[in-house]
Chains A and B, each alone.
Chain A
């Protein structure tokens, strides 16, 4: 990125498409007119850009923590937080104040440094991952050529952080929770990455803006050319969706912190601000992985209907994000938590085979040019294994009927 380019016209600067970059431009302009050297202008602009992303998503985090509680309450026919501010709108602030003012407890047996490092390491990769997503036509904070690889690479750091949290707490529940979390994350990372492979093959690039650009246009004039509207894309997207629920430790795959079994998993020995950091890391990770799913399968910032070019593209991205996040909440409000053996079996026996199958399907689709032949070959190729695997999973791999000795069933 070069220094400030004075040739930016005011029209471009103030266009709705560019609003999210306003802070960056303004800081650059300010520094430029103050006579700062070029490198300082660049760095200042980058800091402002990063600040925009972080600010947007921290606000999102605050709102989400409230909306999640409200939604879950409504699903359970309750009202939810409504005391702090109008309709409880200030609840996140109240929570934040509570978290910040709580005592920070470090257990005697804990290793204080790793204990401190873990919550930080949980937040960092999420923010890094958020940095490479394309939010709009003009809004890509860091346009990397290897964006997807970068996303997955930093994503792996979370596992080490969880391990640190579990181990450094020096107590049993965190340790058990960390072991669960690591085995779950390792298992579900495979289908996650494998399902992204098909997209890489078809778009021929690892750059996330490139992947979004590949999904532009409309089929038959009204169906958006998103990957999810192809047979392999639907299959891979489904795998990606399920695996991302597990990667984000969301219900029904939230056993690392299954409060009815192991208190709070690896976060058991944390309190106050560190605990809040864990929460923040989790929500930011949720945003990041939903954003990646949108980028890979739901067309990123592409508009869902033709003729909507005047609407700023980042609005589409965030609308999709809201829909996806809401689906996560809905699922959390609906399904009970699964058992750990069911969880692992599902990953290894259902998701990974399906993710592997989508790769040849994507290849066939690519070389068949996507026409009727592509549909004719890939639909049965994917549909049959899905049906067979799910029925098989339901019938044979589900645990045997339990008989209760002391209770009438």
Chain B
């Protein structure tokens, strides 16, 4: 059905990322007072690029034409080395591009309402456009180099957006933290990239058999070994993994992500749903062939194992921390970290398709959740503490419904929500993973906790009685903010249709096979088994939460019901397991100590020494004075004046005139020349 579109694809696809970038550039030169125009430009550009991306998605649905390379453009030529950049459209990138443009489009629309009263309204949209354009380049790139450049652009844009309220010191600090923390990962990414280039001589992913992800190069990469017998592909993949960890907020580089909540809520939605954190997962998914190049017969390789374990740990860790948070956005932030852990587990255990499905489903419901949370915050007059909310389902019923959809999708409510099926697919992959049951168990526990804390949050915010001292009456948001919520909620539900085991169309499509409807798939014992397990997990989590938080005290100052039971553990969780404190101690502490030591050295050692020296000199001076008085006076004066005269005549050579110096240099050179020829002769 997309046949007529095919011939124009190479030309049009460039416009998908370029349109938002151009919009960003145009907005950058617009005066600040044209904020409304800026928002229209940004949204319009993104709308166009969304249309193109959807068309491209349709194109890639055609069997046999699923992957198409956009001819590479030579970007720079150095000698006989040509750096090429190009685009690559396969189901994965098509789906990602469509998701990014679609979700971001609704976030843009939402922002028009949300940021309405902002002074730097136009600039905000400029940054948003830059952010989206960069992310689209990440997604569509056919070259690790272009991907890296866009990756860095994403980092830059996130820095500017997180620090959008740069007057707030916390926001500025959060922006710097995000930038520097991800930089640690980027460094590893960069080294990995250069290593790959050195080994293979190309950075293009697909290049008619010579690309990085094609079998010829992969064989040679897997064949070469480096320190400790590790295959080069594995080592480079590990480096890439570190980069992805930084971007996707995996433990231990996750600390920036919760702090990034300092940005405006639409930014949080964009970062957590469509653009920033998805980049890391997408990087691993895109370069998955490198990760698995050196795999053994079981399909295991060191980077994959590392990814699975890191993902599992992250998932559980973040879920635990989310339990004890009270800021509505922070809870969502930790849940993002947790869900990214899920995706990593899926990638590690070989389920690229499952990871992508979860990524896209997650994008929809997490954007939905964030925007709903923004709506709540907006309605409660910038209140973010869930302990001060409660009972909001009466005040803002529409937001409540959409929030409930998002929350149920995230918790994995069975059957009709996309989150359920995507999570189920991941757990399935983890369960049958030959590398052990660790990631599966971790992920299962995390899923349980997810259901628990999401229910807790929903209960605290929307149920019970209002607990808001000194906060004016909450109100429903305007429709420019609500419409995006409806659309995203619909997406969160409808996506479930394409990922069920009965008709696993999405996964088959990503993997390049044609999907078929198989009603029997649901009845397979292992699927039944897993669905049952998932159901149990969700029921347990929701039920436990319901039991504990059903009757929360109406006092906003009261302690959490769990706090008393868990005691110190609760506080530990509240502090996010002390990662920030750990970094404070492990990295910042020694530096501070070193500085302090030098300061002490200065104060305690050098200053007394100077004092001693000073007194000595004083004493000598007194003695000299006396002896001078006693008869050296005359001679000393003469000495002084003599010295002065010599000094004056010596200083005359330092005339300060450049030409005099030049002449001196020239004379010296002449003498050297004469010497040289004399010696030769």
Find out whether A and B make contact in their complex, taking CB atoms under 8 A apart as touching.
no
